[in-house]
Structure 1
Amino acid sequence: MKPVVRSPLRDQIRKDLIEGLITGRWEPGERIVERRVAAELGVSQAPVREALRELESLRLIESSPNRGARVRPITRADLREVYQVRAGLEETAARLGRPSAAELASHLTSLRTTDPHEQVRHGVAFHRAIVAAAGNQVLLDVWESLGIEVWTHLSIRLFRMEPQENAADHEPLVAAFSSGDPGVGALLREHVLAYAP
């Protein structure tokens, strides 16, 4: 881990902890020692504790009195539940608004990278554009609260899911939004559910 140099500390610490989960620094069931993380990052334990609470709200870690924080074992059922909720939110977003076809096409171009981390990042940006276009801040906040990028990385790492042909998978969505297809919501829902393990 790199030392944290600027505020907001909690956000930077959370990003470092998430990176550790994504890369496998901490495996399921392994304890994350708050004091050790604070020492590595050169910060007090308070912002580390806050960041761990946020990860607990994402269901990525679990904590208990006198035992501290542990990486929560992630199951296929956990991932399916996240993808089911995500699919419903995105279907609703597609009914409420239409994203810019040019913006989606731009994200589609970026999805053609072979770097799996970049594919995840650009895929999340593609779907975020759809949700943001709904013009419903509550919907966007709930969607973002799911930790989409983290769960996608974890599904690939833990369950050896090969990144699908991302650009090809997203082309029908761009076409449907561009043409104003009334069935785009159902198409989007099925697209998201296809990624569930």
Structure 2
Amino acid sequence: MKKTVIRQSLKDQVKSILIDRMIEGDLAPGDRIKELQVAKELGTSQAPVREAIRCLETLGYVEHIPHVGAMVKTFNRSEIEEAYQVREALELHSTGLIAEVQNELVKKLDEQLALMRSATKAHNIRMFTQADNEFHRAIVASCENETMLAMWESLKMQVQVIATLVKASMPLDKIYLLHPPIVDAFKSKSRERASLLLKGHYKILGSYWENLK
């Protein structure tokens, strides 16, 4: 879907849009990012697009190939697995750092759970993935540690590779059912149980990933 840049930091706006396209699969690993084409699509000049691409190179989402240009990075299996392990560790550690489970976190988790449920019924993998990402992001964000959240955000691309493959082989309803118990644990303010359930969640998805080798 075409998005138009609104007045703000153009570079950051373009960067966010490009990241969304990568996560949603509109820009796949190995795809070339054409500066002029992106600028025309977003109704902006090439300068903020160029700056956004440089930022994405720094984040490790994009690599510059001589005589070719900017390409969406292709991750090897080892990089993907390491990112998956780090993301799990960040979420588990974040859960332990939450001083007190706030109603705001529970509300956010419930909202994303409802979206996942709707996506499951419609078998909308893209919608499910977006809600799933927001669900897990909310957990990390709730510990109010900006560095940990930034680390979690930086792993989106690698983890998305696993998520896409797993969701193509594992029924969405099975993935969905891993989440309500996590919400219930947070509602009962049991961080220990939430951590155990998160660990189990990653173990189950990890087993599907292993079977895809």
Classify the TM-score, shorter chain: 0.7 to 0.9
- 3-state SS in 1 of match to 2:202: helix
One-letter amino acid matched to 1:36: Q
Q: How do residues 83-162 of structure 1 correspond to structure 2 at under 5 angstroms?
A: 83-97=84-98, 98-100=100-102, 102-103=106-107, 104-114=109-119, 115-146=124-155, 148=156, 150-151=157-158, 153-157=160-164, 160-162=168-170
Q: Is 1:55 the equivalent of 2:67?
A: no
Aligned residue among 175, 182, 185 for 2:192 = 182
One-letter amino acid matched to 2:71: R
After superposing the two structures, state which structure 1 stretch, 66-75 or 87-96, moved more. Answer: 66-75
TM-score of the two chains, using structure 1 as the length reference: 0.77
Change (3 A) 1:121 1:163: farther
After superposing the two structures, state which structure 1 stretch, 175-184 or 108-117, moved more. Answer: 175-184
Instruction: Output the CA distance in 2 between the equivalents of 1:119 and 1:62.
Output: 28
Change (3 A) 1:143 1:156: closer
One-letter amino acid matched to 2:95: A
Query: Could you give the per-residue CA deviations for residues 68-100 of structure 1, whole angstroms, max 9, x where no partner exists?
Result: 211222344333222111101001011111534
Alignment gaps of 5+ in structure 1? none
One-letter amino acid matched to 1:48: V
Instruction: Output the CA distance in 2 between the equivalents of 1:169 and 1:181.
Output: 16
Alignment gaps of 5+ in structure 2? none
TM-score of the two chains, using structure 2 as the length reference: 0.72
Greater relative CO (CA pairs within 8 A, separation 6+): 1
Aligned pairs, how many? 195
One-letter amino acid matched to 1:116: I
CA contact under 8 A between 1:120 and 1:152: conserved in structure 2? no
Instruction: Output the CA distance in 2 between the equivalents of 1:108 and 1:23.
Output: 19
Instruction: Output the CA distance in 2 between the equivalents of 1:70 and 1:173.
Output: 37
CA contact under 8 A between 2:53 and 2:70: conserved in structure 1? yes
Q: How do residues 164-175 of structure 1 correspond to structure 2 at under 5 angstroms?
A: 164-165=172-173, 166-175=175-184
Change (3 A) 1:134 1:47: same
One-letter amino acid matched to 1:52: I
Query: Could you give the per-residue CA deviations for residues 91-121 of structure 1, whole angstroms, max 9, x where no partner exists?
Result: 1011111534642334323320123222222
CA contact under 8 A between 1:4 and 1:41: conserved in structure 2? yes
CA contact under 8 A between 2:95 and 2:194: conserved in structure 1? yes
One-letter amino acid matched to 1:30: D
- 3-state SS in 2 of match to 1:6: coil
Instruction: Output the CA distance in 2 between the equivalents of 1:141 and 1:25.
Output: 23
Q: Give the corresponding residue for 2:35.
A: 34
Instruction: Output the CA distance in 1 between the equivalents of 2:76 and 2:127.
Output: 24
Change (3 A) 1:88 1:25: closer
Q: Give the corresponding residue for 1:21.
A: 22
C-alpha displacement of 1:33: 2.4
CA contact under 8 A between 1:87 and 1:190: conserved in structure 2? no
Instruction: Output the CA distance in 1 between the equivalents of 2:112 and 2:3.
Output: 30
Aligned CA-pair RMSD:
3.0
Query: Could you give the per-residue CA deviations for residues 145-168 of structure 1, whole angstroms, max 9, x where no partner exists?
Result: 33x3x5555445567455633431
